[in-house]
Structure formats: structure tokens, C-alpha cells
Amino acid sequence: MTQDDDTEGRATHRQLPLIRVAVLALVVSSAVVLFHRSALGPVLVVTVVFLLGCLSLSRNTPVPRLDVGSRKRQAPLWPDSGAKSVVEAMAEPAFMIDRNLLLRFQNGVSERVFGAMALGDAISLRFRSPELIAAIETSVREGRIGFAALIEGRSAERSWSVDILPVPVPKSGEPSFFLLLFRDRTAERRIEQMRTDFIANASHELRTPLASLMGFIETLQGPARDDATARLRFLDIMRDQAARMSRLIDDLLSLSRIEMKRHVPVDHVVDLGEILEEVCEALAPLAEETGIEIVCETASGPFEVAGERDELVQVFANLVENACKYGDGGGRVVITMGETRERDRLFRDVAIRDFGPGIPPEHVPRLTERFYRVDVGSSRGKRGTGLGLSIVRNILVRHRARLIIQSVVGEGSTFTARFPAISTPA
């Protein structure tokens, strides 16, 4: 049926009440003529005039037309299957909402990350962030792209950036649906926080000896200019502070170099027994100074792993030096070598144990963080930079090894470096 035929049919439907009135008028006039034949002439005249008036009225009555386009502009309740397929294929959590901020579809990734939601529910029932909801409302009201941030901390803090995207409609009409696309920024946020903390800590560690040096220089230039005794004492302190800055810069450079190549695999084979003997010989003066005896129980034969010799010397020098410095009072440091199995894999362990005061359990998980110290005053007094264990951890990561820390307050601590054993051909 054409549009004109449809219009004519609607007009005929509008004329039906007038036809019924005309038929009723004919019936009434016939009854009058039947009982009063003398009134035939006047009745016929009145009837004809009435019918002509009805016909004229029916032709002049405007027929209201339905705006078909307005029906097409009404928002559908649900997105079509094509739009759902595209959203389902996205690798990030995605939601489709309507202009009333009601959920119309969510993909499988969003169900795994945020949990399943009932279709038709308000999106604000799941996301209790006023900033996010306000950004969505603004985008819906203005029909434009919007952006927002969401930080959730129910189990572990996670950071998301949210893109609010209007779904285009044909002929540039008003969008009926909006896509909420969530992108996980947790790792980036943590890296940025680590970078900020690192700069702050490094600046603080360098500022302290610099301030001390500046103070002593000003004193030597002023009140102590002619005081030979004070000058010698201040110069000794200034030398210690300069050495502290030098150690800190050396550790920062070392940490930077190691982190740059921590993902580069090693391709050499070294004997850990030889490395430990070298480390014990080099640290013998420090052990004698602190009153510690180093007992090195090396393996009877070769104890080989894949590794870089210089880096592993740095690892065990750090661990043995820490055991001598912070295990004071225990009298000895014991180095042992052994093998263990985990999930049918063979590993080779080197354990450095001290018998000092031990480490409280709340500090153990954070010992390998940069600049982390259990006792700041004690560490600085023993010339520590707070970077030693962080360097150890990064070197071991490159060697596909790990550091295991066990400590009991009052009994001492054990630091174990666990290396994967070299597989031998069958």
C-alpha cells in the first residue's frame, strides 16, 4: 500500500460518523413521510440540504497525519545484536547504558572484573563514585565524549580510566546509548607512585649529608677559622658525610644499571663455592672489626648455577656485610649451601644466618623496598644506604632466583638465595 492509499483510508475512517448521521436522517424523514404524506415536499428539501452540508463538512475537515519520523526517533529499549557483539568482543570491561543511566548490556570481561549486574538497573547501584556518575550525566546531557577516573579499594586498590562514548545513530540524531569503557591503570599508577617515592627518598638521603657539609664549612669559615682542634674534628666528620654521599650515589647507579638489564638472561656458569670464599676473604676485616666470626660451610664439590660472577659477588657481599653489621651480639655468621626440591624442580640454596636480635615480622615483607630501614638511626650509623637488599633482589630476579627471608626476634635472621639448578642433558 502506498502512502496516498494509507492517507485515504485514514480519511474514510474519519468520515464514518458523518455517514451514520446521514443514514439516521433518511430513516427519520421516511418515517415522517409515512405518517404525514402532506409533509413529503418539505422533508425532502430538509434532508437534501442536510446531506449536502454533511458532505461539504466531511471534505473540509482536516485529517490529522501521524508523523512517521517521530516514531523512528524514539529511543529503543535495548541495543541490537550487532552492537552487543562489538561490545562483547572488547578486551576491556565495557557497559552500554541508555539516557536514563540504566544498564542495557555488559560484556563478559566486565562480569569477571566487576560482577554481573541486572539489566535495567541504574549504573549507580554498582559504581558509588560521585565523580564518575557526574561525568556520565554530563556526557549524556550534552551528547559528547567524556572521561573520568575510578579508584576502587575493596580488596586491593585498583585504578581505572573510564571513557564515556556516545553510540552514533543514523542521520546525526540524538544518541540513545552510551558506552562506558574501563581501562586498568593500576600498574601505571603504582609505577608513578614508586617513581615519586624514589625521587623523594633519594633527595632526602642526599640532602642530609649536604646540609651537614654546608654547616661545617660555614663554621670553619667563621667561628672555627683559627681553631685547629675543631678544624681537624670537623674535617673528619665532613669526610664521613662525603663518603656517605659517594656510597649512596654508587648504590643508585648500581641499582639503575641492574634494573635496566634485569630481564636480560644470563649465559654463564659460575661456582657459588668459589664466590663465597672470595666474599668471606674480602669481608674478614669487617668481621674482625665488629667482633663477628664468619663460618663458611661450602659444598665439597662444584656448586654451579647460571649467573654473572660480578653480580653474584655483589649479592653475597651485601648479605654477609648486613649479617655482620646488624647481627652484632650474635658472635658469628654461618654460610651454608644445600639443595631443595619444589614441584619436582631442583634448586640450589645459599643461606646466610646471623644470631643477632632478629627482625620484627611486620618489617620482613618490606625489607627489599628502596630506602626501607627497620631502624633509620642504626642503619645510618652503620653506613647503610637502604638500597642493598633492593639491589640483591633485582640481581636475583635477573638470575631467575629469589630471596627468602626468615627471622625470629631474639634468635636471628636467615637470608636464603635460591637458584634454579642447571639442567643436565639426559
Q: Lowest mean pLDDT: which of 37-51, 64-78, 194-208, 401-415?
A: 64-78
Count the Cβ atoms, other than its own, within 10 Å of residue 311: 21
- Cα(277)–Cα(270) distance, integer angstroms: 13
CATH class of 190-260: mainly alpha
pLDDT band at 175 (very low <50, low <70, confident <90, very high): confident
Domain boundaries along the sequence of the chain: 3-65, 80-184, 190-260, 269-420
Q: Which of 182, 166, 161, 178 is nearest to 90 (CA)?
A: 182
- For residue 421, give the 3-state DSSP assignment: coil
> Above 80 in pLDDT, residue 160?
yes
pLDDT band at 205 (very low <50, low <70, confident <90, very high): confident
3.40.50.720, 3.30.565.10, 3.20.20.100, 3.40.640.10: CATH of 269-420: 3.30.565.10
Which segment, 46-55, 62-71, 213-222, is predicted with the most confidence on average?
213-222
Q: Per-residue pLDDT tens for 2-20?
A: 444 444 444 444 444 545 5
Range 61-84 average pLDDT: 55
Q: Per-residue pLDDT tens for 342-383?
A: 888 999 999 999 998 889 999 998 898 888 878 765 665 566
Paired sense of beta strands 103-106 and 94-98, if any: antiparallel
pLDDT at residue number 179: 94
- Cα(282)–Cα(273) distance, integer angstroms: 14
> Above 90 in pLDDT, residue 406?
yes
> Above 50 in pLDDT, residue 297?
yes
Q: Which of 347, 359, 298 is nearest to 323 (CA)?
A: 359
pLDDT at residue number 334: 93
Q: What average pLDDT is seen over the chain?
A: 80
Q: Per-residue pLDDT tens for 19-52?
A: 555 555 555 555 554 545 555 555 555 555 455 5
- Cα(360)–Cα(356) distance, integer angstroms: 12
3.40.50.2000, 3.40.50.1820, 3.30.450.20, 3.30.70.270: CATH of 80-184: 3.30.450.20
pLDDT at residue number 203: 79
Give the DSSP H or E segment for 406: strand 402-408
